[in-house]
Amino acid sequence: MEAKVTGPNSLSLSDEIVRRIHALAAISETPDNLSRIFLTPEHRAAADLVMGWMRDAGMAARLDAIGNVCGRYDGERTGLPCLMLGSHYDTVRDAGRWDGPLGLITAIACVGDLHRRGVRLPFAVEVTGFADEEGVRFASTLLGSRAIAGTFDESALGGRDKQGITMREAMVAFGLDPDHIGAAARAPSELLAYVELHIEQGPVLEANKLPVGVVTAIAGATRLAVELRGTAGHAGTVPMALRRDALAGAAECIVAIEEFCSSDRDGLVGTVGYINAMPGATNVIPGMVSFTIDIRSPRDSYRKLAVTDIVRHIEEIVKRRDLQLDINVTHENRTVPCAPWLQKHVAEAVKAEGFRAFELPSGAGHDGMAMIDIADVAMLFVRCRGGVSHNPAEHVDDADVEAGAKVLLRLIENFKPKG
Ligand code: GLV
Ligand code: MN
Ligand code: MN
């Protein structure tokens, strides 16, 4: 489609963005709650929808070797390095519709606006929809952005989902070649910067009555997988003193983690978000339990110490209860600082749109944690209602969608590569 030259940006971008948020949310494994998981038919359908929007916005669009959607809007001439924008389009289970898609869809809308006005910049603009940021299916995360950063760990291909399907098998079933993930990698020379718009997923912007915020850093995280083994037995016959109950042991571990992280440790947070007890029957003492631990802090040294202390607590509990323990780190990411020069670009765009340039760290993980290996990273946060996220009640007001889009568009048009 030929680009039409129109006047400067004055139209509302939020109508289209909100419509597309809802259209993408309709692509879900389960009709009553949103779950869009890596390497599933829903991943494929979402990729096709997003690539169509990219093409409508004047971009060349393709699916890369791990299932990221990649759109490119050339600059004043072809082959220029790019300002990369984007976010992820996978979701957690029973998800909200804004976590990830808002950044991706807003970036496409901004490029569409440039395209409609016939604007070409002295750099290319690329928009990436990352295929797996949440890490729901396999015991690893940031798979899409790690592939682009060239840091994808091939051993992840052997990881299995809850049905026992390996990532390698899932990739083949999806139509991708697990032996060519390296083809997704981009060279640092191709990128001028990576900027992501994302909902805040917390209550700070709302408390400050601000629609947008400038992110200073993305907090580091460690995830662990724990397995406790005791002895399954009859719920009616084994006296309490003779039991090796793996679930009661796990319960004690979970409370110990909560207590440890609650005792004022400067932003340290710990979560057990998944647990499975086997064999899982009312009248059987649980013989085996697996659960996950997620530990985060804006300070890497605190997080590392906390992980060591928590593992020691678990070992003590397990020893006292005569259980067997298997504990493994499944994910570890350092705190990623946003580049000061790029943060300044974000702050200037925020101010130019009439808002206060309020700075805040991100407690949530983002694809920038992987992209930092090939580009300087910055983020723009958009307020979400009540700070609620990873929850179907997640919501962003139209006016805040519009504010985020205007700031991002301003940032793109005023962007100057690091001098
Ligand atoms: C991603 O949403 C994460 O912070 O775990
Ligand atoms: Mn998320
Ligand atoms: Mn997210």
**pLDDT tens digits, 95-154:** 999 999 999 999 999 999 999 999 999 999 999 999 999 999 997 889 999 999 999 999
Query: Which of ligand 1's atoms lies nearest the C-alpha of 294?
Result: 5
How far away, in angstroms, is 103 Cα from ligand 1 center? 15
- What's the CA gap between 31 and 260, in Å, rounded? 39
Query: Which of ligand 1's atoms lies nearest the C-alpha of 296?
Result: 4
The proportion of the chain whose per-residue pLDDT surpasses 70, expressed as a percent, equals 97
Dihedral pair phi/psi, residue 8, rounded to 5°: -65, 165
Range from 7-16, 55-64, 111-120, 193-202 carrying the lowest mean pLDDT: 7-16
Which ligand is in closest contact with the Cα of 331? 1
Closest protein CA for atom 5 of ligand 1:
365
Contact 197, 404 (CB under 8 A): yes
Contact 74, 58 (CB under 8 A): no
Structure confidence by residue, pLDDT tens digits, 350-387: 999 999 999 999 999 999 999 999 999 999 999 999 99
Asked whether 365 lines ligand 1 (CB < 6 A), one says yes
How far away, in angstroms, is 132 Cα from ligand 3 center? 10
Kind and range of the H or E element at 213? strand 212-218
Architecture of domain 220-333: 2-Layer Sandwich (3.30)
- What's the CA gap between 132 and 54, in Å, rounded? 19
Q: Is residue 212 predicted with pLDDT exceeding 90?
A: yes
Contact 128, 15 (CB under 8 A): no
Region 66-74: mean pLDDT is 98
- What's the CA gap between 59 and 124, in Å, rounded? 10
The closest alpha carbon to 399, from 163, 210, 181, 187, belongs to 210
Asked whether 58 lines ligand 1 (CB < 6 A), one says no
Q: Is residue 233 predicted with pLDDT exceeding 70?
A: yes
Which ligand is in closest contact with the Cα of 135? 1
**Please, what is the end-to-end C-alpha distance for the chain in angstroms?**
35
Contact 145, 130 (CB under 8 A): yes
CATH 3.30.70.360 in the chain is located at 220-333
Mean model confidence pLDDT for the chain: 95
Kind and range of the H or E element at 410? helix 398-414
DSSP result, 347-367: HHHHHHTT----EEEE-S--T
How far away, in angstroms, is 366 Cα from ligand 1 center? 7
- For residue 97, the cross-strand partners are none
Q: What pLDDT is recorded for position 264?
A: 66
Q: What pLDDT is recorded for position 11?
A: 58
How far away, in angstroms, is 101 Cα from ligand 3 center? 8
Instruction: State the alpha helices, DSSP H only, in 233-377.
Output: 246-262, 300-320, 340-352, 368-371
Confidence of residue 4 (pLDDT cuts 50, 70, 90): very low
- In degrees, to the nearest 5, what angle opens at C-alpha 217 toward C-alphas 213 and 221? 125
Region 210-222: mean pLDDT is 97
The closest alpha carbon to 318, from 293, 294, 289, 292, belongs to 289
Region 277-303: mean pLDDT is 96
3-state SS assignment for residue 391? coil
Contact 88, 104 (CB under 8 A): yes
Region 73-87: mean pLDDT is 98
How far away, in angstroms, is 396 Cα from ligand 3 center? 14
3-state SS assignment for residue 384? coil
Tokens of 23: 């259209």
Q: Is residue 7 predicted with pLDDT exceeding 50?
A: no
Q: What pLDDT is recorded for position 419?
A: 78
pTM over 0.85: yes
Region 291-315: mean pLDDT is 95
Closest protein CA for atom 3 of ligand 1:
365
Instruction: State the alpha helices, DSSP H only, in 199-286.
Output: 204-207, 246-262
Which ligand is in closest contact with the Cα of 96? 2
Tokens of 126: 């690329």
Architecture of domain 7-218+336-413: 3-Layer(aba) Sandwich (3.40)
Q: Taking the CB of residue 7, how many other CB atoms lie within 10 A of it?
A: 7
Using most ligand atoms within 8 A of CB, pick from 271, 390, 391 the residue to mutate for ligand 1: 390
Q: In this structure, are strands 288-297 and 269-271 parallel, antiparallel, or unpaired?
A: antiparallel
